[in-house]
Amino acid sequence: MPRSITYRQALNEGLDEELAHDDNVVIIGEEVAEYNGAYKVTEGLWNKWGDKRVIDAPISEAGFIGMGIGASMLGVRPVMELMFFSFAYVAFDQMMNNAATVRYMSGGLIHVPIVVRGPANGGTNVGATHSHTPENIFANMPGLKVVSPATAYDAKGLIKTAIRDNDPVYFMESTVLYGQEWEVPENDEIDGGELLIPLGVADVKREGSDLSLIAHGGSVITALKAADHLASEHGIEADVIDLRSIRPLDETTILDSVKKTNRAVYVEENKPFCGVGAQIASMIQEKAFDYLDAPVVRVTSMDSPAIYSPPLEEIQIPYPELVVNKALSIC
């Protein structure tokens, strides 16, 4: 019997299963232990696993992220929670200059199996310093892997895979999605007994023939709503491609969709300048140009710091009507 659980519960299940799977897995972050996490993702894990596996850290991202990277070089598999991914900038040297390059600089002798996870989204009216979407920044650095799940199913399968990966994986979630529910099978309903989704494999969330809507993270939900409107009101059937993993990137699934539909719209909360969508648009233009019947267009956040005002922030980030209008402009 299918069951529905929240995105938050799916992450919690994935973390719990990995703590059981490998004694080297630990969770470290602000309020992750006794207070169950700022967003209750780690609820109950401290009570179950104790002080040595679920560890509260001081408010010093540079300190505890650096400690986690050092521990991972010695065989620990730390899962580090950032209350907001905006706070990653405090630990930028450790996350970019150290974690990303250690395996290369050591000639492959030292791995950094660390996961840094937390919300990277706008739309919650917490101001410019708490609303960054830095997936494009981290994806720019060779040696790092960047994941952004859009559903509870993907969140659970990807967090488990990320923890088992021997490279740094920066796992970007959305506070808007935490309370939303999706079907996630019980382990005994899955071949192999557990849900594992490989990194670098996109997912076709909706089949269509007229247009490719490509997105990651919370913008996948926006794209799906836009696709439903395009179908019901305009007779336009859209493929909706969820990247799931930004780096490594599944180019094949994207290109196959564009070759089928001949039109592409990228939807993201990233800012437009040097965003993920810019990379995707360039890749499509280079590798599928002869299939395009219209330019690749992007729907992004407004190119300004996040607006604190709730009604203004609602229109600063992509919303379904904006995606629909962009799609109609090339159909």
Tell me the catalytic residues: 61, 130
List, in sequence order, every beta strand (DSSP E) within the chain: 4-6, 25-29, 54-56, 77-81, 115-119, 145-147, 169-173, 181-183, 203-206, 211-215, 238-242, 245-247, 264-267, 297-299
CA gap 16, 160 in Å, rounded: 10
CA gap 180, 240 in Å, rounded: 19
Q: Token pair of 20, please?
A: 């059981």
For residue 124, give every residue at least 6 positions away whose Cβ sits within 8 Å of its Cβ, in sequence order, or none.
Answer: 131, 175, 176
Containing H/E element for 300? none
For residue 224, give every residue at least 6 positions away whose Cβ sits within 8 Å of its Cβ, in sequence order, or none.
Answer: 205, 206, 240
